[in-house]
Structure 1
Amino acid sequence: MTQETSGAATEAEKAAAMVVDEERRAALLRRITQEGGFAYVSSAEKAAGGDLRAAEAAREMAWEQLHSGPWHEVVPAWRDAYAMACLHVAELRAGAGDRREALRALDMGLMMGGPLLRGELDAAVHRIAAAKGPDDELVANDCAEKWTEGIYKNQNLAEALCTLPNKSLSCKEVERKSSLSLETFICDYFLRDSPVVISGCIDHWPARTKWKDIEYLKRVAGDRTIPVEVGKNYLCDEWKQELITFSQFLERIQSTNYPSNLTYLAQHPLFDQIRELRDDIMIPDYCFAGGGELRSLNAWFGPPGTVTPLHHDPHHNLFAQVVGRKYIRLYPTSASESLYPHTESMLSNSSQVDLDNIDLKEFPMVEDLDFMDCILEEGEMLYIPPKWWHYVRSLSTSFSVSFWWSAAGHS
C-alpha cells in the first residue's frame, strides 16, 4: 500500500468514525426526547452549533436529572446526555482558550457520564491536554524534598508501631511470601480464604519510580479534576467530599495541617480517567484466580494519617502498596457479629467500632477477638479474601492500588 493510499484510508476511517459518532448522538437525542427532555434537546442542538450558554444549560439540565433521586434509579440515557453536554462545553471552552475549564468539563463527563461517548471524551482529553501553551508549563519548585520526606515518614518500625491501634489484643502477623507462584497462591490462600502478603511481584511497574516524582504527577495529571474525601473518615459527621484538581490535591498532601484538612483520594477509578497513570501499572496474574473477572481498579492516595475504618468488601481484593507504607488489620468473616456492623443498609459493611479509640463498654465482644495484621511495605501486595473485615491506616504519604475481582459464577 502506498503512502497516499494509506493516508486516504486513514481519512476514510476518520470520516466513517465521525458518521458513527453523529449517529450515536442523534439516537441519544431521540431517546432523551422520549424521556421528556425537550428543553435539553433544544439546548444540545444549539450547543452543537457553537452556543456556549446553551451547552452550559444542557449540562445543568442533565446534572439535575442525575441528582433527581437514588443513583441506581437514574435513567442511563441521562448519564449519556450529561457526557454529551460536557463534550460540548469542553469543545467550546477549549476553542475560547480556556483549557483548564475544558479539561474539568471532560473529567466530570468521565466521572458522571455514561459509556456511550466515553471514546469521544478520552480523545478530547488527549487532544486538549496535549495542547499546552507556554503559560501552562509546570515550573519545578522546591517541594521535592518535602515530598520525599512524606513518603519515607515512619520508616522506623518502632516509631510506626507507637501510632497503631491497640496492639495488646491477641493477634498474629499476616503470612508473607516472596514471588509466590499462581498455583501456590490458589491452593494455599485463594481457595482457603486466607490473607497473604506477597513481595517481589510489582518491582517492574513504572509506577514504582514514577509516582515518587511529584513533577511527573503534576505533568500528567495536575490539571485534571478528581473527587477527594476531606475529614477523618467516611463515618465521621464532619466528613465531606470535594472536587479539586490533582495539583491542589498534591499541595494538600504536603500541608502539615492534617487534622482540619485531611484529604484522601479514596476508592476512585483514577486509572479509567487518567490513562497515563494506568500505563504505569499492570494487572497481577493473581487477579485471574478462580476464572472470574476484574470488577474494579481503584486508587488510594493520601498523606500520613488517612484511615479507612473497619469494613468488608464483597470481592477478592489484591491491595498493592506502590509508594509508602500502611498498617492493615484484618478480622475473618466469622467475627462479623462481634464487630457490631452498622444497622443502616448503606453502612452495613462497616463496623461501629472505632479501632483508634475502642469503647469496650459499648462494644465488649471486640476485646478478645483474634485478628491478623501487618505493615504493608512499599512494593508489597496484600490479598484480602471476600467479606474479611479490614482497617487501613497510612503511615506515610501513600499511593496504593486495589484490584477487585470475582470468581467464576459469582457476581
Structure 2
Amino acid sequence: MGPTNGGILETPALDIETPGILQRVSEEGGGYTFARMAAAARDGDARAAEVAREMAWEQLHCGPWHSVLPIWRDAYSMACLHVAKHHFAGGDFSETIRVLDLGLIMGGTLLRVDLENAVDKVMAVLEERENGGNNGEGSDNGGGLLFSSADFNEAEVLRSLPAKSLSSKLVARRSGLSLEGFLRDYFLMGLPVIISDSMSHWPARARWNNMEYLKRVAGGRTVPVEIKELRKDILVPDYSYAGGGELRSLNAWFGPAGTVTPLHHDPHHNLLAQVVGKKYVRLYAASLSEELYPHSETMLRNSSQVDLDDIDDNAFPNVRDLEFMDCILDEGDMLYIPPKWWHYVRSLTPSLSVSFWWSNPEGSP
C-alpha cells in the first residue's frame, strides 16, 4: 500500500533549478546522456532515474574528490530526488530514506533544502505508522538503555587504559563555572577544564540513553557523524562563544566501549560534551608537539606516530616521561580542550558525545 501522506515528495527547489543544472552538466561536465536520463526521470521514468543516479555516482568517484566538478554533485542530488520520489510513491520508505541520505552526504548544496524537507516528510510518515496514532505519547520512555552505570565495572575498565593513566595530574573540574571564570581562568590561560552540571537542561540528557528513541529518530538512516534529527536535543553552550569567535563545527559521536581516537590535535577551541556513557581523555600541552613525534606528511601532521596503548620505547624513548593531564568524563561533563593541545580518547562504555569547535575572531593570534 502506498503512503497516506499525499503520495508524493514536493521538490520546489528541484522544479526551479532543473533547467540550469541540466544545461551546466551538459556544457561543463559533458553529461549529455545524463541530461537525457534526468529529463526522462522528471517525466516519470523510474528506470531513467536510476540510470541517471548511477551515472552521477560514477562521476563522483572518477578521481580525487577535490577534482570532481561541483555540478556533478548537484546532478547527483537531482537524481537522488527523482529516485526517492518513485520509492516514496511505491511505499518503500526505508529505501526512500537511504537514497535521500546519500544525496545529502554526496550531493551538492543547491538542492539540499529539498533533500532535507523530503527526509522530514518521510520520517513523519514512518513515525505516524509506528506510533499507530498515539501521537507519540510515551515515545521517550521504555526501551533498553544504551548505558547503565550498574553494569560499569570500574576496576576492569581502568586496566585497559594506557600506562600511568590517572596517576599524575588530573584535569581541573569546576561545577557551575561562570562564563567570566571560564574566560579568566582557562580560555585566556590556554588550559583544559571539565565543566560539570551544565547540561541538565538538554533534552538529550533524558533521551539519548533510550535505545527506542535513538532507533526511532536515526535507526534506519545512512548518515555521517552529524545526525540532524538529534540536533534539536542539544543546546550550544555559552562557553563556545568565548573570545568572540565563530562556531565552526558541531558533531555528534557515537561508539561502543573500547572505541579509541588516537593521539592528535585540532586547530580550534573544542568543547567535548559527554551526554551518555563515560570516556577517558589524556591531554598533552601544545608545547610538547615535537616530543610527540607528529607524522611528517602534511595531511597527518596533527597526528602522533605514538600508540599510547602500546608505546614503542625504542622508537619513542622519552614519551613515557612526558607530563600530561587526564580525566574520566562522566555523563553531563563538558571538557574544554584548547587549540593544538594533543588528546587521546577512549570510550569506556557505549558512548554518545557532542563536540563544539569554535575559532578565534579573524585576525586574532
Q: Is the 8 A contact 2:286 2:341 kept in 1?
A: yes
Tell me, in whole angstroms, the C-alpha distance in 1 between the residues paired with 2:70 and 2:324: 42
State whether structure 2 residue 203 is matched by structure 1 residue 206. Answer: yes
Q: Is the 8 A contact 2:84 2:96 kept in 1?
A: yes
Match of 2:360 in 1: 407
Match of 2:317 in 1: 364
Match of 1:132 in 2: 126
State whether structure 2 residue 284 is matched by structure 1 residue 327. Answer: no
Tell me, in whole angstroms, the C-alpha distance in 1 between the residues paired with 2:242 and 2:211: 35
1:362 offset after TM fit, Å? 1.3
Mapping of residues 304-315 of structure 1, within 5 Å:
304-315=257-268
Tell me, in whole angstroms, the C-alpha distance in 1 between the residues paired with 2:47 and 2:299: 38
1:343 offset after TM fit, Å? 2.3
Mapping of residues 97-108 of structure 1, within 5 Å:
97-108=91-102
1:398 offset after TM fit, Å? 0.5
Match of 2:117 in 1: 123
Alpha-carbon spacing, 1:152–1:170, altered in 2? closer, same or farther (3 Å)? closer
1:158 offset after TM fit, Å? 3.8
Q: What SS is found at the alignment partner of 2:321?
A: coil
Match of 2:246 in 1: 293
Task: Give the one of 77, 83, 87 matched to 1:83.
Answer: 77
Task: Give the one of 19, 22, 25 matched to 1:26.
Answer: 19
Runs of 4+ off more than 6 Å: none
Q: Is the 8 A contact 1:56 1:89 kept in 2?
A: yes
Aligned residues: 346
Q: Is the 8 A contact 2:279 2:345 kept in 1?
A: yes
Tell me, in whole angstroms, the C-alpha distance in 1 between the residues paired with 2:87 and 2:307: 46
Superposition TM-score, scaled by structure 1 size: 0.79
Q: Is the 8 A contact 2:218 2:227 kept in 1?
A: no
State whether structure 2 residue 173 is matched by structure 1 residue 173. Answer: no
Q: Percent identity?
A: 60
State whether structure 2 residue 158 is matched by structure 1 residue 161. Answer: yes
Q: What SS is found at the alignment partner of 1:367?
A: helix
State whether structure 2 residue 336 is matched by structure 1 residue 383. Answer: yes
Q: In structure 2, give the amino acid aligned to 1:192.
A: M
Q: In structure 2, give the amino acid aligned to 1:349.
A: N
Moved more, 315-324 or 44-53: 44-53
Tell me, in whole angstroms, the C-alpha distance in 2 between the residues paired with 1:144 and 1:127: 25
1:310 offset after TM fit, Å? 0.6
Q: Which runs of 5+ in 1 are unaligned?
A: 1-14, 228-267
Q: What SS is found at the alignment partner of 2:223?
A: strand
Tell me, in whole angstroms, the C-alpha distance in 2 between the residues paired with 1:404 and 1:134: 36
Q: What SS is found at the alignment partner of 1:91?
A: helix
Q: In structure 2, give the amino acid aligned to 1:270.
A: I
Tell me, in whole angstroms, the C-alpha distance in 1 between the residues paired with 2:219 and 2:294: 38
Match of 1:225 in 2: 222
Tell me, in whole angstroms, the C-alpha distance in 2 between the residues paired with 1:40 and 1:410: 45
Superposition TM-score, scaled by structure 2 size: 0.88
Mapping of residues 140-159 of structure 1, within 5 Å:
144-145=143-144, 147-148=145-146, 150-152=147-149, 155=152, 157-159=154-156
Tell me, in whole angstroms, the C-alpha distance in 2 between the residues paired with 1:137 and 1:29: 41
1:122 offset after TM fit, Å? 1.1
Mapping of residues 187-206 of structure 1, within 5 Å:
187-206=184-203
Q: Which runs of 5+ in 2 are unaligned?
A: 1-9, 133-138
Alpha-carbon spacing, 1:327–1:101, altered in 2? closer, same or farther (3 Å)? same
Match of 1:65 in 2: 59
Q: In structure 2, give the amino acid aligned to 1:176.
A: R
Tell me, in whole angstroms, the C-alpha distance in 1 between the residues paired with 2:277 and 2:357: 21
Alpha-carbon spacing, 1:157–1:168, altered in 2? closer, same or farther (3 Å)? closer
Match of 1:56 in 2: 50
Q: Is the 8 A contact 1:170 1:370 kept in 2?
A: no
Task: Give the root-mean-square deviation of aligned CA atoms.
Answer: 2.4
